Each structure stands twice: as C-alpha cells, then as structure tokens.
Structure 1
C-alpha cells in the first residue's frame, strides 16, 4: 500500500486500484474485457450506420434502437478505456476533476439508458394495444422529444452527485478500490460526513430506476393482457415476437444491474473482486449483447444487413 501513498502535491489525484487481489492476472482479464468492448462498439456503430443509411428504417422503433445503441456506446466507453489502461499499463492515477467527470457521464448515460428502455416498452405497448393509432401517437419528432426529456432528467438527477462530493474532504490516501469512479466507491474514500451523499445516491437510484421498472412492468402486463385476448394463435405469436428483443435486452440489463447494486451496498461477505468484476460486466455485457439481440430478433433490420452483405 505504500506505493499508493500520495504526496502533498498529489492531493487532487485519486488512485484507481483496479481489481484487488487479481493484479497478476490483469493481462488475461483484459483479453475478454477488450474483446467484449470492441464487439459492442462495432455492433452498435453498425446499427447506427444501417439505420441512418436506410430510409425504410427511419421509424420510431428503429430510432429508439439507435438511442439505445448510443447509450450503450456511452456506457461502455465511460468505463472500459480507463480500466484497460490499468490492466495494460498500470496507469492508476486519475485527477479529481477527471474522476468526477467520469462519474457524471457514467451515471447520466445509465439513467438515459433506463429512460430509453421505458420508451421502448411504451412503443411496444402502443404497437400491440393500440396499433391503429401508432403512427399518430409515436412519431419521429415525439421520439426525439422523449429522448431529450430523458437526457434532461438524467442530468438533473446526476449533477448533484459530483457537486456534493466536490465539497467533501478526502483522506491523504485517496485509493479507490475499483476500475472506475463509481459514486459509492468514491464516497467511501471521504473523511467527512457522507450521510447526505449516501442518502441522495440511494434515493435517486431507488426512485428513478424503481419508477422506470414499474412503468416497464406495467406496460408488459397490459401487453400480455391484450395478447391473451387475441383469438388467433398466429396473431398472438406474432404480437409476442415483437416484444422478445426488448425483453431479452431488459433481462440482461436488469439482472446484472440488481446483482451489482445489491452486492455493492449489502454484500459485505462477498469478496471485493467479485463486486468489481460484476460491476464491470454490467457496463460491458449489455452493450455487447444488445446489437446482437436486435440483429437476430428484428427481421427488417436483419434483412437490411443481409442485403448489404450480399451486395458486398
């Protein structure tokens, strides 16, 4: 630990330890991490390019998929470059301003990601429960407005996190046992009273993400009720198929999210490296899997990609 001691000239610097206890395996850990990151970036950029180029895909559903792709790129890019620098070059220093900036962008994009998932569930609800009015309820302009509202909401809720931390005193050994500046990990390094920081972080996560999950669950309850009323088995199956991609995306995101949050706050008996690995997987796996899920499950998008590949 003496290697991490900060001198008086380093008081504006934090040290990101990485994954404690697994330092000797950093190179091996970096291989799957970097592979997943590259696949996620390429997959999401591919979706953005195809939707932008193909006029027939300029529809609300595909605009939402583009918003999801943008948030996936933002989430993984907020975390992985710094983590890989730690794994490859042992570059553990991060300035106080850089740490707070990473925290702000990471949590802002995460809340934006949640807002996009809510909008997608509403999109599926309207498409199945009120298909005749779909084109009038959900227009491209309305999707853009909802995206902007989601961004503003995320900024307003996340901005107090780094602002409150800015006024906190930090110990001389500013060692963050993580690969990135996650809010609660930084709060633990403060020497002052962090009650307000902890309560605000917990209330924000519970209220905002809890509200989003309730809306998504309610949407799918109404969708399921509408589907069960369909007499035709073929039509019922078709209606359910339109939701499978979104449900798969929800399962990958929500499962890892809850495991990461619960182990971080309440799993004191779980080894620290398990906390950190799962926290990284939450920001790594969904961005990698989402373009694959939509590429496989969305026929129109799959056909467009196939057409361009055949043309090449």
Structure 2
C-alpha cells in the first residue's frame, strides 16, 4: 500500500498551527507543534500506557541503583561509580522526552517553545554520547580487573576515575554543542509542525527552507566518530579479556570470570542494537510508515534505561544481595 504523504497526514493540523504560530513567512518560530505519533493520533491514550509504564520502570530502577550504591560502602568502586553515571544518563534521557510525550498523549499539549525544542534536542543527543562513553569506561574497568587484577586498585584510582568521567562528560557536551546552533541559524518559513513526539534532530532541521547538508554531514560524522570509536575500543578490550579468560586453567574459573562481564555485555547490546536499528531505518527505510519511524526513535531511548538497572540488578550478585537485604530489613 502506498504511503500517505506527510503533507496529507498532518493536513488536519495546518489550520491549528497557522492560527497559533503563523506558519507562513516566519523565521525561527516562537513555537513548534509536535504531532505525537502521526497516523495514530486516535490511539494516543492507549499508546501512553506502555510509554508511561516504561518511564516509571526506568525512573524506579535507576533511582534504586543510585540509592543502593550510595548506601552501601562495599559498592564504592569503579564499576559501580560508572554504573551510577550510566543510571544518571538514563534518567536524564528519559526525562528529556517522556513528560512532553505523555502531555501530548494525555492533554493534546502539542506546542513546544523553539528554544525549549533545541534544548531538548541537545540533552537527548549529548547524553546519548555520554552514555556510549560510559560503556567504554566500563569496558576498560573490566579489562583491568580481569587482565591485570593486581593493579586494578592502583590503576583506577579516584583521580583517574574523575579524569575519565570528566572526559566522557566534556566529549558529550562539546560534540553536540554545534547541533542547536546549526538548527537555530536556519529559516523555518514553510511550517513549524514536527511529525514526532520530541524534537529529534533530523525531524526539526528537515523543516528548514534552506540547504541543511552541513547538519547531515556533521550528524553522520559524529555518529561514525562516537559509535565507531567506542565500539572499536570496547571490542579491543573484550578481545584481551577473552584471551585472558580462555587462558585460565579450569572451566569453572573461566565461566566465573566471564560471568563478571555478562552484565556489561548485555547492557552494550541493549544500548547499541536499538540505536543501530533506528539509525539504519532512518537512513534507508524510506518506504517504512512514518509512525513506525517515530516509535523506533522512541524505543531506542526508552529501552536501555529500563533494561540497564534490571540487567545489573539480576546479574550482579552484590547489587542483588543488597537489594534483597534492603527489602528483607524493611519487611522485618
């Protein structure tokens, strides 16, 4: 079945946007109009149920991780500090998009201020880069812990941890800083309707009546630089880790050591696979329905914040034991 053109799918909102935001002959509009999930407007209330549930699980799970690590002195180590950083990035990413998405679903609150839209875009992208950088730091921690365990405490000191954390944060801040400035410079003279639940970068700049090649090139460059570099370093770390594991004398020792990396490997897969699938579909899925694009763009930001605390809570014995002690103590 032939896909309905975007101009037709949003036609029922044109009169609304023109009266409220003066969509003709404007530059840098004061507001954008977020459609939510185009074509599925009638089902917004039902769609909000899984979205709200996933957001609640992400908030509860990641705050639980932060609370347990802060409360238990035995968990004050490099791996758990990086896990806390991962939890913070998950919380910021989820909170950057979900409250607005739910307000669209529940209250039909579609307007978003132009500056707020660019701010949302910046937070989503910068914390995505930070998230990827934290996974690299965690891979380095596993590499030192398994390949050179006697020097783990002297290699990953508090000073080194602080420098790694600062580098991860600064990389996310600096690489994404051009995005909102590039988006702000374009004239938006056709429409201010964004067919999305949040201010996704490409969805916003596609509305500009100008050549946005620089945005596309810069976006691709950052994606290849960040994902390519991070995946390379993670792969190199795990090649050395696997070599060290398979050189252990007994099968039990190999399985036990490999188990310490299991949580991190699951988190890597949960983070990169949805993102890769969404990126490939955005670039090559031109015949895919628009609402499916939007749903996938949301899923790659929603799924990791849910799975990360669950994976570490289930697979990491120290966290699982402390969590059970917490609930047992409360029960008594």
Aligned to 2:176: 158
Matching residue within 204, 207, 211 for 2:229:
211
State the Cα distance separating 1:7 from its structure 2 match: 4.6
Q: How does 1:87-126 map to 2 (within 5 A)?
A: 87-126=105-144
Aligned to 1:40: 58
The C-alpha deviation readout for 1:27-80, integer Å capped at 9, x for no partner, is 111001100100110110011011111111111111111011001101111111
Q: Which runs of 4+ in 1 moved over 6 A?
A: none
Deviation larger for 27-36 or 226-235: 226-235
Q: TM-score, normalised by structure 1?
A: 0.97
Aligned to 1:227: 245
Q: How does 1:121-270 map to 2 (within 5 A)?
A: 121-270=139-288
Query: What is the alpha-carbon distance in structure 2 between the residues aligned to residue 7 and residue 101 of structure 1?
Result: 25
Aligned to 1:49: 67
State the Cα distance separating 1:139 from its structure 2 match: 2.0
CA RMSD, Structure 1 to Structure 2 (Å): 1.2
Query: What is the alpha-carbon distance in structure 2 between the residues aligned to residue 163 and residue 309 of structure 1?
Result: 48
Query: What is the alpha-carbon distance in structure 1 between the residues aligned to residue 16 and residue 214 of structure 2?
Result: 28
**Alignment check: 8 A CA contact 2:190 2:209 kept:** no
Matched, 1:271 2:289: yes
User: Any stretches of 5+ residues in structure 1 without a counterpart?
Assistant: none
State the Cα distance separating 1:269 from its structure 2 match: 1.0
How many pairs align? 312
Query: What is the alpha-carbon distance in structure 2 between the residues aligned to residue 297 and residue 29 of structure 1?
Result: 31
Aligned to 1:66: 84
State the Cα distance separating 1:92 from its structure 2 match: 0.8
Q: TM-score, normalised by structure 2?
A: 0.92
User: Any stretches of 5+ residues in structure 2 without a counterpart?
Assistant: 1-10, 23-28
State the Cα distance separating 1:141 from its structure 2 match: 3.2
Q: The residue matched to 1:14 in structure 2 has which SS?
A: strand
Aligned to 1:3: 15
Matched, 1:305 2:323: yes
Query: What is the alpha-carbon distance in structure 1 between the residues aligned to residue 159 and residue 18 of structure 2?
Result: 51
Query: What is the alpha-carbon distance in structure 2 between the residues aligned to residue 8 and residue 277 of structure 1?
Result: 27
Cα distance change on mapping 1:195 and 1:54 into 2, 3 Å: same
**Alignment check: 8 A CA contact 1:18 1:83 kept:** yes
